[in-house]
Amino acid sequence: MADAPVPLVKANTGGLRTGQYHTGPCEDNYKFGRTLGKGSFATVKLATCKEDGSKWAIKVIDKRALNQEDKEALQVECDTMMQVNHDNIVRLKEVYDNNNNFYMVLEICSGGELFDRIVEMEKYSEADARFAFAQMTEAVGHCHKLNIVHRDLKPENLLYAGALPNMTLKLADFGLAQIVTAHKHLHTACGTPGYVAPEILMGEEYDKEVDMWSLGVILYILLCGFPPFYEEHTPELFKIIKKGEYDFPSPYWDDISDGAKDLVKKLLVVDPKKRFTAADVFTHAWMEDKSDSSGKTLVHFQGNLRKYNAKRKFKGAIEGVMMANMLQRVLKAGARAAAEKIQEKQSPKNSASPKKVEAEGAAAEAGGAPAAEAPAAPAPAETAEKPAAAAAEDVPPTPVPADATIAA
């Protein structure tokens, strides 16, 4: 008789319920079709439920490739996705835990990514931006009410449920999500460089406010077609993010309403305590704007977004891991500098610190500021890369072409 499978995750740990956790063969209930995505640790398959004929995207994870940290991250991902229940969030229906593989049965989003959809629209206005932004804010607000921080909000994780005319937007990929409590604070260095909040780069403890910063970045792009923070070199990008340095350049922002600009300003606030919450967003006047001007076509938007979208995908394909590693190096340099500052305070004023040169060298290698200017970090930052079970470079969320068919 075959040995019982060693459980990868546990039910009843906060979100994953017993009825949604199975140890039997996934193939007993689903007919697998073609491969939608494949990486080092997981494969996404299109599948049909044998009971009702419904279509699902099943993420098949190789358990043998996971270390303990990966397994813990997968537990959190399953728990968070099972807790959420919202029309604007991708649904995790159930999981199957077998000897060698772990299966996640996920809702299919066949309408493509947010930016891919809107860049092809014949006409695009502030009203269109508002409609998309309201949906993603609803999703994030729902997560925050459950004390869930997504930590990786970006266009690749915002998917349309179906092809036009379906305009329902879904938040996907909870691979970096965490549940926060009064006794559990976050300090892991993670996220996507252009969308990451200043407090993460500064090595500080952080909370749900990091998601609101990322939403501010996305709203800025939704209005003009390019990001508020941009530098070719990642260390320079981090510097301007930490300072919150951005503007509304002419002519691209000339036709954007003052209300839209004001909401961006309320979100891209360096001090997280002064940053708008999801609830605050819906009290802002721009979210209720019904004026004729809000339907005016944004003439510069399409061209800007088309260029940015192409560059974003190209850079993401070849530099994703490199940028994550750079985030890690910059934060470690900051941690070394913090240790140096503590050592200096504990030493006589006129004594030279033997590790000062080492800290400055680490910061310089990372492309950051000298040790005296580096951000203080309470502890060496953890990895900036996703766990293997949820690596963005391994398997994309679950977009499926609108004409998806099941392989014979």
As a residue count, the chain comes to: 408
**3-state secondary structure (DSSP) of residue 21:** strand
**How many Å from the N-terminal Cα to the C-terminal Cα in the chain?**
32
Residue type, 399: P
Block residue for tokens 């800007």: 304
Cβ neighbours for 349, distance < 8 A, ≥ 6 positions apart? none
- In the residue annotation, 152 being an active-site residue is answered as yes
349 a known binding residue?
no
Q: How far is 50 from 31, CA to CA, in rounded Å? A: 7
> What angle do helix axes 258-267 and 209-224 make, rounded to 10 degrees?
150
| Six token digits for residue 66 | 């996971």
Cβ neighbours for 85, distance < 8 A, ≥ 6 positions apart? none
**In what helix (H) or strand (E) does residue 38 lie, and over which residues does it extend?**
strand 30-38
Cβ neighbours for 145, distance < 8 A, ≥ 6 positions apart? none
Cβ neighbours for 216, distance < 8 A, ≥ 6 positions apart? 228, 264, 266, 267, 268, 275
Q: How far is 247 from 399, CA to CA, in rounded Å? A: 33
Question: For residue 326, what are the CA distances in angstroms to 113, 189, 277, 368, 384?
Answer: 26, 11, 29, 10, 9
Q: How far is 43 from 236, CA to CA, in rounded Å? A: 35
Catalytic residue among 79, 128, 152, 211: 152
Block residue for tokens 């063969």: 25
Q: How far is 321 from 4, CA to CA, in rounded Å? A: 36
Handedness of CA 67, 69, 72, 76 (dihedral sign): negative
Query: Which residues are documented as binding site?
Result: 59
Catalytic residue annotation: 152
Query: Which residues are documented as binding site for ATP?
Result: 59
